[in-house]
């Protein structure tokens, strides 16, 4: 079942998704590519035990959540991390949580594309687009059209390409009704979970796209609001990714969503990665203590959503202000992550800042074709490398734990 409706797919060269390693780049400090731990790491043991079970062919999914700004909204870093797991464990199940970026007229993650023939308004937790309500990835889209269709379709970059469960996260506005469009051979069972914030559709066959028809019944309440889709393959083992990325997001952005804990709890995360800080450090008014306070709250909310989640804090990447001035505030942001690691249990740090070469290292990444000219973002190849490096760090920790258990 496929619905294209004039979607324009971004064409990526396949070579960008081949394995990219740090071996050819002397400025990358491979010796620090591991996870740092301080206090209790019980949640990581739970995560590693689930990996063990998956290795033993146990039917289950492992759920990964990645918070961030434009690094994560772009999706390549997170997706490469996921693909490495799928390839290592030879799985194809799992799925994705996906926000309909295309409908909101902003850049999208590569593994899914959203479409609609309606008029929608994008709400973001940042800058001029700020409005409410917001979903767990600090975004939402809303429409007051009398009728339109909307949906999502997998692209070739998805590691899980077909699913049998689709959950639509929305605001349960009684002035609107919606239904899923299917062909004669596809049947679905619908359940509304208003207390959890989503409607679930279970299909009798796996599908690679889904299309909803939306109708406004009256004008008592304005705007049908969508917070995202969860597309899940329950018929096979695999890894599930929620790339919660919002351009311009800072450490406080996600705290502006009243739905954060409720929606995040439905993902049943095994591993949560927090990669916020570039936009914080770009601000003239950056204060490390405020940055730590925001992260404190975010970690608290993540634990409230799922106390058993393993949490990785990534130190912010080196970056430049207006592409010219090296950003010394990144040094303080790195220190903040280690302070948080000492304070919170079940939290590790992946020191990406030091790994990439530390302060003023971004020009080296640019010269090597791994970063963009703004000296803030990375090239496609650079983001693939970040995904590979992060996977190597997590896998190294997992293998070290397995060795200890065998001793």
Which residue range is the domain that position 322 belongs to? 16-91+237-407
φ and ψ of 14, to 5 deg:
-60, -25
What is the domain-level CATH number for residue 224?
2.60.120.260
pLDDT in the model for residue 44? 94
Q: What is the DSSP string of 4-55?
A: -TT--PPP--GGGGS---STT-TTS-GGG-SEEE-S--HHHHHHHHHHHHHH
Residues 244 and 222 in one domain: no
Report if residue 325 sits inside a domain.
yes
Residues 388 and 297 in one domain: yes
Query: 242: closest CA among 263, 218, 262?
Result: 263
Residues 75 and 109 in one domain: no
Tell me the C-alpha distance between 367 and 360, whole Å: 13
Tokens coding 367: 């010269």
Report if residue 2 sits inside a domain.
no
- Domain boundary (235, 267, 284) is at 235
Which contiguous run of DSSP H or E holds residue 364? helix 362-367
pLDDT in the model for residue 407? 61
Report if residue 305 sits inside a domain.
yes
Q: Which residues contact 242 (CB under 8 A, 6 or more apart)?
A: 63, 64, 65, 66, 96, 97, 137, 230, 267, 269
The tokens 């406004």 sit on which residue? Answer: 216
Residues 259 and 363 in one domain: yes
Which contiguous run of DSSP H or E holds residue 86? helix 76-89
- Domain boundary (186, 208, 235) is at 235
Tell me the C-alpha distance between 372 and 387, whole Å: 17
Tell me the C-alpha distance between 170 and 135, whole Å: 9
Tens of pLDDT, residue by residue, the chain (407 residues): 333 323 233 334 434 445 678 888 999 999 999 999 987 778 899 999 999 999 887 778 999 999 999 999 999 999 999 999 999 999 999 999 999 999 999 999 999 999 999 999 999 998 777 999 999 999 999 999 999 999 999 999 999 999 999 999 999 999 999 999 877 788 999 999 999 999 999 999 999 999 999 999 999 999 999 999 999 999 999 999 999 999 999 999 999 999 999 999 999 999 999 999 999 999 999 999 999 999 999 999 999 999 999 999 999 999 999 999 999 999 999 999 999 999 998 899 999 999 999 999 999 999 999 999 999 999 999 999 999 999 999 999 999 988 777 76
According to DSSP, the residues that pair with 179 across neighbouring strands are 213
pLDDT in the model for residue 14? 36
Residues 108 and 70 in one domain: no
According to DSSP, the residues that pair with 94 across neighbouring strands are 233, 239
Residues 37 and 117 in one domain: no
Yes or no: say if 320 and 373 are a contact pair by the CB < 8 Å rule. Answer: no
Residues 192 and 260 in one domain: no
Tell me the C-alpha distance between 227 and 123, whole Å: 10
- Domain boundary (207, 235, 263) is at 235
Tokens coding 249: 């997001």
Number of separate domains in the chain? 2
Report if residue 6 sits inside a domain.
no
Residues 198 and 127 in one domain: yes
Tokens coding 184: 């004669």
pLDDT in the model for residue 18? 55
Report if residue 286 sits inside a domain.
yes
Report if residue 9 sits inside a domain.
no
Residues 76 and 38 in one domain: yes
Residues 33 and 123 in one domain: no
Q: Compute CA distances 185 → 1, 63, 204, whole Å.
A: 10, 30, 9
Query: 132: closest CA among 36, 260, 273?
Result: 260
Yes or no: say if 159 and 92 are a contact pair by the CB < 8 Å rule. Answer: yes
Residues 77 and 160 in one domain: no
Q: Which residues contact 174 (CB under 8 A, 6 or more apart)?
A: 217, 220, 221
Report if residue 4 sits inside a domain.
no
Report if residue 78 sits inside a domain.
yes
Question: Angle between the 76-89 and 42-55 helix axes, to the nearest 10 degrees?
Answer: 50
Distance separating the N- and C-terminal Cα atoms of the chain: 51
What is the domain-level CATH number for residue 72?
3.40.50.1110
Determine the 3-state secondary structure of 383 from DSSP.
Answer: helix
Residues 124 and 251 in one domain: no
pLDDT in the model for residue 339? 97
Q: Compute CA distances 174 → 48, 178, 199, whole Å.
A: 43, 11, 14
């Amino acid at each position: 079942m496929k619905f294209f409706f004039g979607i324009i797919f971004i064409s990526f060269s396949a070579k960008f998704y081949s394995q990219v390693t740090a071996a050819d780049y002397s400025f990358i400090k491979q010796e620090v590519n591991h996870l740092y731990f301080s206090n209790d790491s019980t949640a990581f043991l739970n995560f590693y035990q689930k990996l063990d079970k998956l290795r033993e062919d146990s039917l289950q999914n492992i759920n990964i959540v990645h918070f961030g700004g434009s690094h994560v909204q772009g999706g390549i870093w997170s997706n490469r991390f996921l693909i490495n797991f799928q390839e290592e464990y030879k799985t194809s199940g799992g799925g994705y949580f996906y926000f309909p970026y295309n409908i909101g007229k902003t850049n999208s993650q590569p593994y899914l594309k959203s479409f609609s023939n309606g008029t929608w308004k994008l709400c973001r937790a940042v800058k001029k687009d700020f409005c409410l309500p917001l979903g767990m990835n600090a975004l939402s889209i809303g429409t007051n059209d009398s009728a339109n269709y909307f949906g999502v379709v997998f692209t070739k970059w998805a590691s899980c390409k077909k699913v049998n469960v689709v959950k639509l996260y929305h605001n349960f506005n009684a002035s609107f009704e919606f239904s899923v469009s299917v062909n004669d051979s596809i049947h679905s069972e619908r359940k509304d979970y208003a207390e959890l914030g989503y409607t679930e559709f279970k299909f009798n066959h796996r599908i690679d796209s889904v299309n909803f028809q939306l109708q406004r019944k009256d004008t008592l309440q304005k705007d049908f609001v969508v917070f995202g889709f969860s597309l899940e393959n329950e018929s096979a083992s695999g890894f599930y990714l929620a790339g919660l990325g919002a351009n311009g997001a800072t450490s406080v952005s996600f705290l502006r969503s009243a739905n954060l804990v409720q929606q995040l709890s439905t993902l049943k995360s095994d591993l949560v990665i927090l990669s916020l800080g570039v936009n914080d450090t770009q601000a003239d008014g950056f204060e490390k203590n405020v940055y730590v306070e925001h992260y404190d709250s975010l970690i608290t909310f993540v634990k409230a959503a799922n106390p058993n989640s393993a949490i990785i804090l990534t130190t912010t990447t080196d970056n430049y202000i207006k592409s010219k001035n090296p950003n010394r505030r990144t040094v303080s942001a790195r220190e903040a992550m280690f302070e948080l690691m000492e304070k919170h249990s079940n939290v590790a740090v992946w020191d990406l800042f030091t790994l990439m070469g530390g302060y003023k290292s971004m020009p080296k990444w640019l010269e090597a074709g791994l970063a963009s000219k703004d000296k803030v973002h990375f090239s496609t190849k650079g983001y693939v490398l970040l995904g590979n490096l992060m996977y190597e760090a997590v896998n190294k920790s997992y293998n070290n734990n397995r060795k200890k258990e065998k001793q």
